[in-house]
Structure 1
Amino acid sequence: MRVLLAYNKFAGGFRPKLLNALQMQLAKRGHLVFSVGTRDKEFSEELSRCDHVCVLGGDGTLRDSINLARSFNVSPSFSILPLGTINLVAREREYEKNAEIMATRIASLADPVSHYTAKMNDDAFVACLSIGPDSYSVARVTQKSKDKWGRLAYLFAFVQQLMDWKRMELSVKIDGETVRAEAIYVLKSKYFAGPWSLCRQADITLPQFSVILLPKARRRDFIRLIASAIISPRFQSAKWTQLTCNDLHISALTGTPVQADGDIAGTLPMRVQIAPEPLRFTS
């Protein structure tokens, strides 16, 4: 099997020793292995002809690799050695930072697991999308701060956001009905921002996503949302709208940032829908 190790040397936990160890373990098992940085000019060519992509990075690196694969109309299988800042999909698949275990799992592709991603306009997202106070907060996070502080960079950005709170009115069209809200969370993964969960029913293996709409997104509403994820779902408000769907359209003021998988991935307006074909991940 032709295996591409797609690494992001800017990922928060990137370790060249792990890259070398995984390459050695896969070669020992008889695979043809190539390692290329996702920002290298050779990346596109190698991705277009590989059978399997092991992403050494986080959800953002995985998302970029999926987008590129779809642009070439190729469908390799995927796995992740979790070296990013948050690593939500790796949590779902229970991938570890262990080269030998990962090589064994890549060899087990006889029984792959389907993962339905979502699309925001024409680009994929793999775990979560949000628009509201937290997307403005993520917009404050720089690559330099992520490199220096890791997950804490998001906390520092949120503290800044608390002092300069922004609210907006979103128009969300679902199944022909328009709903007004000040914040929206579109969830493929049951995990959000780490080991916590906004919706335990979210399922990456199903062709749908879970949606949470907050009619008001004041500071106290957002703190309540975080408490519902970190402490208990009992902090959820009956005023929030929660549903599942596979297609919606979101609009607001032009330029409103959209957070996807821990990065700013676009601005409104935006159509969000389930990708028609699932990805294959190592079991």
Structure 2
Amino acid sequence: MDRFRAVLGLLDAVGCTYEVKETQAAGDAARFAAEAAAETVDAVAVAGGDGTINDAINGFHPATPPLGLIPLGTANVLAHEIGLATDPAAIAAALTAGRCLSVVPGQANGRRFMMMASVGFDAHVVGGVRRSVKRRIGKLVYVLSALRQLLRYPCPHLTALVDGRPVTAATLVVSRGRLYGGRYVMAPAADLATPEFQVSIFRRKGRLAMAGYSAALPLGLLNRWNLIDHVVARRVEVHARPGDPVQADGDTATALPVVIDLADQAIEVLVPPDSPVPSVGASRKTTCLERSYGA
């Protein structure tokens, strides 16, 4: 937690006031966010990973202050997406002098997500991850889970409706942003500022195909070799294999059948002053912090 303490020190140095609230269980971050009043708080800064951010945004309402990030997680996908570095000075600058990016989250059966949701093999891998192991070994936990799922899950075809059009695939990743699992590019044309999804379609079924996809992702070959297809959409429905997991932002969010669509409320996200993403708004001076040891 040295990074967290360093960020607080920098906020102190420029005269920011803040309140630290530590989460103890799922739902705490959402409750803290819902309680943050725009009249007294300029930003809700989430210290943790993408899972903690996901929890928090499910408590946002129209009067909630902008979302700020203190990335402390395993992958920090949203932080990478907006160009936020992990050094304390960059984090503090985003919180105190950042610009606002308006992002319409996705939602899976009504639960919001900021970056991506998926069904099929990918969701089974995420569902097989134990948080206690993830804290000890980091991203390696996903490799181990993938190996287990290749033995257990048959990787069959699923039939989905993508904006009403039938699609057959073994895995679907429905993305709001370009990145996945950290800095890996999954959906190259996705744009947080545009309220739509880029749906990545893994068409080949079976364990061997999934092993190949899994190896290609970190090597940057999924898109370079055109191993997957992409379509732009605003709604995805999957009714196959009831009870199978659906992952969102790196955690199991719900189960099949699922409807994935856009939320009806945009969330303002504080991005670095030099972020490559388009944004509008003024700097923020005070911060409410949420800290989680479970992300």
* TM superposition score normalised by structure 1: 0.84
Q: Is the 8 A contact 1:135 1:258 kept in 2?
A: yes
Q: Tell whether the 8 Å contact from 2:179 to 2:185 is kept in structure 1 after alignment.
A: yes
Indicate yes or no: 2:120 matched with 1:132: yes
| Aligned equivalent of 2:45 | 54
Q: Contact (CA 8 Å) 1:19, 1:56: kept in 2 or not? A: yes
Give a deviation string over 1:105-143, Cα, whole Å, max 9, x none: 21224x312223211121111112111112112211101
Q: Is the 8 A contact 2:69 2:270 kept in 1?
A: no
Contact conserved, 2:102 with 2:266, CA < 8 A, in 1? yes
The correspondence of residues 230-245 of structure 1 with structure 2, limited to 5 A, is: 230-232=219-221, 233-237=223-227, 240-245=228-233
* Offset, 1:164: 2.3
1:28 aligns to 2:47 (yes or no): no
For residues 198 and 184 of structure 2, the distance between their equivalents in structure 1, rounded to whole angstroms, comes to: 15
Aligned to 1:152, which of 125, 140, 154? 140
Tell me what 2:248 maps to: 260
Whether contact under 8 Å (2:150, 2:211) holds in the other structure is no
Number of the residue aligned with 2:57 = 66
Amino acid in the other structure paired with 2:86 = K
The aligned amino acid for 2:173 is Y
Matches of 1:98 and 1:231 in 2, distance apart? Answer: 26
Counterpart selection for 2:97 from 88, 108, 127? 108
Structure 1 residues 150-180: Cα deviation after superposition (integer angstroms, max 9, x where no partner): 1111111111122223224423123333333
Deviation at residue 241 of structure 1 after TM alignment: 4.3
Task: Give the stretch that moved more between structures: 207-216 or 53-62.
Answer: 207-216
Per-residue deviation, 1:96 = 2.5
Cα offset, 1:221, TM superposition: 2.4
In 2, Cα distance between equivalents of 1:52 and 1:58? 17
SS of 1:76's equivalent in the other structure is coil
Residue aligned with 1:68, SS: coil
In 2, distance between residues paired with 1:267 and 1:276? 21
Contact 2:156 2:206 in 1 (8 A): no
Q: Which amino acid aligns with 2:96?
A: A
Alpha carbons of structure 1 residues 231 and 179: separation in structure 2 relative to 1, 3 Å: closer
Name the % identity.
25
**Farther-moved stretch of structure 1 (150-159 vs 42-51):** 42-51
Unaligned runs of 5+ in 1: 1-14
Deviates more, 1:122-131 or 1:33-42: 33-42
5+ residue gaps, structure 2: 272-295
Aligned CA RMSD, in angstroms, stands at 2.3
Deviation at 1:19, TM superposition (A): 2.8
Q: Show the 5 A alignment for 1:1-283.
A: 15=1, 17-39=2-24, 44=31, 47-49=35-37, 50-70=41-61, 73-109=62-98, 111-229=99-217, 230-232=219-221, 233-237=223-227, 240-283=228-271
Give, in whole Å, the separation in 2 of the partners of 1:140 and 1:226: 15
